[in-house]
Amino acid sequence: MSIVAAVVVPHPPLILPEVGHGEEKGIQRTIDAYRTVMERAAALKPDTVVVTSPHSIMYADYFHISPGSGAKGNFAQFRAPQVEVQVDYDEEFVKALAQRCQESFLAAGTLGEKNPALDHGSLIPLRFLQEHSLDFKVVRIGLSGLPARDHYALGQHIEEVSESLGRRVLLIASGDLSHKLKEDGPYGFAEEGPKFDKLTMQALGSGDFLSLLEMDPDLAEGAAECGLRSFWIMAGAMDCKGVKTEALSYEGPFGVGYGVVWVQSVGSDASRNLGAQLEDRHRKRMEERKAGEDALVRLARLSLETFVRTRGYAKLPENLPKELTDRKAGAFVSLKKDGRLRGCIGTILPTQSSLAEEILQNAVSAGLHDTRFSPVQPSELPELVYSVDVLGEPEPIDSPKELDVHRYGVIVQCGNRRGLLLPDLAGVDTIEQQIDIARKKGNIRPDEKVQLWRFEVVRHH
């Protein structure tokens, strides 16, 4: 046996009449589609239901698999404590999956349990499924901050365990789409919201799971999505399988996107080895990026790689451009890994004898001394993407009206406390956001009077 089908479903609490009190009628198409896919799922008679939920326990670098013999939960936090769901866990499956992940060095297991109660991302789909069947056990898995390829690998291991144990398995990929579809919605509007939802529903409906795995992380972050990682795991569970997909509904009347998609396994298809394709494309993109780096970015990479491997600073290469050797300027070095920030440190004004020396020092600081992150390890070096921002001289301004989040960075100063934010950052769309973040970085309260400075940068990728 193996994965017989998967369903992509949202988890808005108001979808239940006991919580919505009539509001659920605003997403009736979602409700109808939900019932349709769960009726189909029950008809396949799964032995085990694997639920991946964004609201289960989540760690940055670890997949949490719920331990124990079972769990229950209710909707007390949504003023409906009488609505309760209880399930038995498939302990044999959990043990085998944790062992398989350990053998493949994927960070996943049953450690770190904080709250054994079922979360609403699991409760809602299980409640809909239980309308049609009670004859199954459950495996509940939280998402992580790990990259797409690790989520995909977890899906592959779920399929492998399904095969080895002879289980008929239904995978429920629980997740809402964008939370930023409407100005009057609970999270406001961002242009990334509708774009993300359109691309995601197209990919799910057509079975183009590789597009989900390669989704622009800035687009996903700007959309404030919820379920993408669940969909990555689902894609991995269907590795090298033919799939028949059907997008049954999409709605977003309350400012959050809700999609319902049916995915059924229809035999083998070696061309759908998406994990291998993802790795190959990623390797080629990294090679192309490195080949296209300019002198400033190459110097930052040389500096950090040399220090991490030798614990000594690199010597400046010969024949550097005069822009680097004859000029002094403040500079920030930023590191990203898998589309996410991995370190960023810099200087507002020059502290070294040249811009080259400034970059040499700040690259090491970004990799090893940004207190938000652990020091970069040698194994991470090939995966890092660098950018260097060279700062123009800061100028004092009298009003936030003189700022522009795309053109100017901001410095917020109160006494000897100072916070800085670079310009044109993903997710920073307003001057108010820019100043607020800079205040927090400088440990400056919102009610404290500040001096504002602005500066321009030249960004090198």
**Contacts of residue 304, Cβ cutoff 8 Å, sequence gap at least 6:** 335, 363, 364, 366, 367, 376, 381, 384, 386
Structure confidence at residue 1 (pLDDT)? 66
Mean pLDDT on 237-244: 96
Which pLDDT belongs to residue 427? 78
The CATH number corresponding to 292-385 among 3.30.1330.10, 3.40.190.10, 3.40.50.2300, 3.30.700.20 equals: 3.30.700.20
d(CA 120, CA 13): 7
Helix (H) or strand (E) holding 261: strand 258-268
Mean pLDDT of 84-88: 97
- The CA-atom distances, in angstroms, between 386 and each of 35, 218, 461 are 47, 16, 6
- Sequence ranges of the chain with CATH classification 3.40.830.10: 3-280
Q: What is d(CA 267, CA 265) in angstroms, rounded to the nearest whole number?
A: 6
Query: Angle CA(373)–CA(374)–CA(379) in degrees, nearest 5?
Result: 120
State yes or no: pLDDT of 218 exceeds 90: no
Establish how many alpha carbons lie within 13 A of residue 31's alpha carbon, considering only the half-sphere containing its beta carbon: 13
Instruction: Please list, in sequence order, all residues whose beta carbon lies within 8 angstroms of the beta carbon of residue 185, skipping any fewer than 6 positions away.
Output: 179, 254, 255, 256
434-447, pLDDT tens digit by residue? Answer: 999 999 999 999 99
With cut-offs at 50, 70 and 90, classify the pLDDT of residue 90: very high
DSSP code at position 312: S
User: Rounded to an integer, what distance in angstroms lies between the CA atom of residue 450 and that of residue 461?
Assistant: 32
pTM for this prediction: 0.85
Specify whether the CB–CB gap between 408 and 395 falls below 8 A: no
Q: How far is CA 154 from each of CA 95, 148, 231, 238, 380, rounded to the nearest angstrom?
A: 14, 10, 12, 11, 20
For 350-435, strand residue ranges (E) read: 384-391, 395-397, 409-414, 417-421
Q: What is the pLDDT of residue 461?
A: 87
* Confidence bin at 429 (pLDDT 50/70/90): confident
DSSP state of 382: G
Span 309-320, pLDDT tens digits: 999 999 999 989
Q: What is the pLDDT of residues 410-420, one digit of tens each?
A: 999 999 999 99
Considering only the top CATH level, what class is 3-280? alpha beta
The per-residue pLDDT for range 162-187, each reduced to its tens digit, is 999 999 999 999 999 999 999 999 99
- What are the residues facing 75 on neighbouring strands? 80
Distance (Å, whole) CA 252 – CA 258: 6
Question: Would the pLDDT of 93 be above 70?
Answer: yes
Which CATH fold would you assign to the domain 392-461?
Dna Ligase; domain 1 (3.30.1490)
What are the structure tokens assigned to 382, written together? 């090939």
- To the nearest whole number, what is the mean pLDDT of the chain? 95
Neighbours of 316 (CB within 10 A): 16
Residues 298, 300, 301: CA angle, nearest 5 degrees:
65
Task: Give the separation between CA 85 and CA 113, rounded to whole angstroms.
Answer: 19
**pLDDT tens-place string over residues 130-172:** 999 999 999 999 999 999 999 999 999 999 999 999 999 999 9
Total residues belonging to the chain: 461
